[in-house]
A = this chain, B = another copy of it.
Amino acid sequence: MSNIQALEKEFREYVKKIEDFNEALSVLAWDSRIGAPKKGVQQRSEIIGTLSTEVFQLSTSNQMSNFIEKLTEKDVYKQLSIITQKTVDECKKKYERNVKIPKEEYKQYVMLQAESESIWEEAKDQADFDMFRPYLEKLLEFKKKFIHYWGYNEHPYNTLLDDYEPGIFVDTIDHVFSELRDGLIPLVKGVSESPHQPQTDFIYQPFSKEQQKHLNIDILNEMGYDFSKGRLDETVHPFAIGINPNDVRITTKYKEDDFKLALFGTIHEGGHALYEQNISEELIGTPLCDGTSMGIHESQSLFWEKFIGKHYSFWERNYQVLKKHSNGQFDDVSLEQFYFAINEAKPSLIRIESDELTYCLHIILRYELEKSLIEGSLDVKDLPEAWNEKMKEYLGVVPNHNGEGVLQDVHWSFGAFGYFPSYALGYIYAAQIKEAIVRDLPQFDQYISQGDYTLIHEWLKKHIHQHGAMKKPAEIIKDITGNGINAKPLLSYLNEKYRRLYQF
């Protein structure tokens, strides 16, 4: 073995250790959210703090610094495997980012995250913003200090975006989001004012949790979610978590008078999970064994939830499956009526229950608010009022209490500022991906109505899934479309679909 090979091996083992700790942290995160004992919160936060500190220390150690220095030497770097090269790149980026934060502050931050998330759950239940407010203020204070340590170009929010959507900046988002908003306003207006509205009463009928669970499992199996590499649990806020490609877990939330919530939530999380289950096993033990960005991750969940799960062809096949698991509520409902009902579009309060037409307006609202919080042009204490005002302005509806308003999302409770834009970017990417798949697989609709996802899975695996974080978002979009980020495919999809449904 040459010196370089020996160094490469040593580096990969070092990185594997970091990733093992990260996988343990993922299990702890999953555990905390699926029903770990309440009184264990404090001590569990300390465990998470200790493990995170270890990861932080290993990622910012002199040893890591030495690895980076030696392995990025031109003559050395070019002899490394492509996986090691990209691993070095990731480690270097993380090193440079992390080394600027004092260790003790980082540990306190991680402990605060765990505690805040648990407080948020209670605050949300009780619609009590003041209970959550001091935690949010502390989290924001940490984030501002971190931005100061990191430095930034042009806008402090840009450095946060880099965590979720590397290479995308405030000016791009401002541009794409405004194009989207300009396109959405007349559409939402047309839909609201149309005299042709769906009948939906048959949706909101009793549908037991047990029956819904069987339905969701059937649908996950049809989607190709591999239960031998995952499991389905129940939580307040649904999520997917990839511990490694062989262990990707999802959760859902059941509402017994609205089966849509769990079903489309499950398809959404299932889309995330399919991505992670299909990352190449070669990447295990490296930071590349993950989705390449939040936006691309979200494109996968949204592709499955909206472009498949809300597709007419999907229900040509699965309406029977739904009927089998339910209690006769759809007996007198035609497929067309049902399809219109599940695609009902109207302004509403809760992001995760909103429809594909109004969804991006929920995101734009959050993006603007957190940008203001970070800029300092908005105080946490004024957040509920600002939230409610924007809801009225964009969607014409106002929450009755903060539980269905500013407290509805988990994200801020663990300090994830800069995350929300990814959801709308995910929408935009998903529409671009859908367009590219239909170009390559013109019989797309037919495959879906037959429940045969073989070629679709192959396409997604080849172009997106297998690469993990080896390919960056812009590279993926460029490869499959020949172009950059573009809101037009999403806008034409929505225009075509909703003008036909609502007949205007």
Q: Footprint of B on A, CB under 8 Å?
A: 16-17, 20-21, 23-24, 27-28, 31, 35-40, 42-44, 46-47, 49-51, 54, 226-231, 243-244, 246-249, 284
Contacts and interface: CB of A to CB of B under 8 A. Distances in A.
Contacts of A44: 23, 243, 247
Nearest to A32: B27
A39 B231 contact: no
Given A24-B47, A37-B231, 4 more contacts: A20-B46, A27-B27, A37-B227, A40-B247
Contact of A247 (B16, B36, B54): B36
B231 A35 contact: yes
A231 B23 CA distance: 23
A57 to B, nearest CB: 11
A40 B247 CA distance: 5
**Identical chains in the assembly:** 2
Contacts of A244: 40, 43
Closest CB pairs A-B (n = 5): A40-B247, A20-B50, A39-B246, A40-B246, A39-B229
A327 to B, nearest CB: 20
A151 to B, nearest CB: 32
B35 A47 contact: no
A230 B35 CA distance: 9
A96 to B, nearest CB: 25
Contacts of A16: 50
B246 A42 contact: yes
Given A51-B20, A244-B43, A249 B27 contact: no
B27 A31 contact: yes
Contact of A50 (B17, B226, B228, B246): B17
A23 B37 contact: no
A243 B45 CA distance: 13
A228 B28 contact: no
Contacts of A47: 20, 23-24, 27
B23 A43 contact: yes
Contacts of A31: 27, 31
Given A24-B28, A31-B31, A246 B37 contact: yes
Contact of A24 (B24, B42, B226, B284): B24
